Structure 1
Amino acid sequence: MTTAAYQTTHLPANAGWLTRAEAWLDHKGKGAWIAAMVLGFIFFWPVGLGLLAYMIWSKRMFGKGCAQRKQHFQSHRHTAWAAMKPSGNMAFDSYKQETLRRLEQEQEAFESFLERLREAKDKSEFDEFMNEREKRAAASAKSVDEDA
């Protein structure tokens, strides 16, 4: 897996373009942040000023923020990969494999439970809406009958 693909997999599914741009600039390093700031000043000065303020506020300008984050992501990737490698102990490896399989099944069961819960909530809200709509229609029909 490439580093860029790795970073995008650790972003939330609903990450906006701003979050993705920030992750991309962090991946490229401090030079990319400075280039973005300079381009911001060239094209529209408030953008450059905003980037400068953000870089100072988030400690990207004067700290080792980008490099530390990059190293942090790489160490997590190494840790995740090491956890998947066999240990050489067959008993432990089979236990680990069985535990992971059980956890995946539990996760699937929980996700399906949440889906059923959402569907039930949606159905109850829709039924409530339809009942209120029916009551309003009956009330308006009754008022029309009384007026006539």
Structure 2
Amino acid sequence: MTQTALIRPAWTPATIALMVLGFMVFWPLGLAMLAYIIWGDRLEGFKADVNRATDNFACSFRKSTQGRHGMRASSGNAAFDDWRDAELARLDEERKKLDEMRREFDQHMRDLRMARDREEFDRFMASRQASQNSKPRTSGSVPEIDG
């Protein structure tokens, strides 16, 4: 069973009513609702970008807490420090693999889009050429009559 949200980023009666009500109560609310209607479909991508940026920001703090020359602060237990360094190295390697897989997938999707666009363009050109070939050609010269 498919359910649709009552308030989704589209011009639905509910969103229009909320926008008008927002303008009547307090104009920034109406403006916010209008922005949601227009740009709300991009919200998921925006959230992903914000999450990525905050992760990078937090990572910069983690790097700054490391001691000099990239050494991590010691916990006082050499065995734990060795284990932690090995695990962090393994996680970094996994992250690099995932980043590479993401880049490959993005390239694959770009290639698919390009192939689809090329196919659509070729189909358009073929239909255009066929429609031009099917039109009778009129020329300014008078055909000769054998007689």
Does TM-score exceed 0.5, indicating one fold? no
Structure-1-length-normalised TM-score: 0.45
Q: Which has the higher contact order (CA 8 A, sep 6+)?
A: 1
Structure number with the higher helix fraction is 1
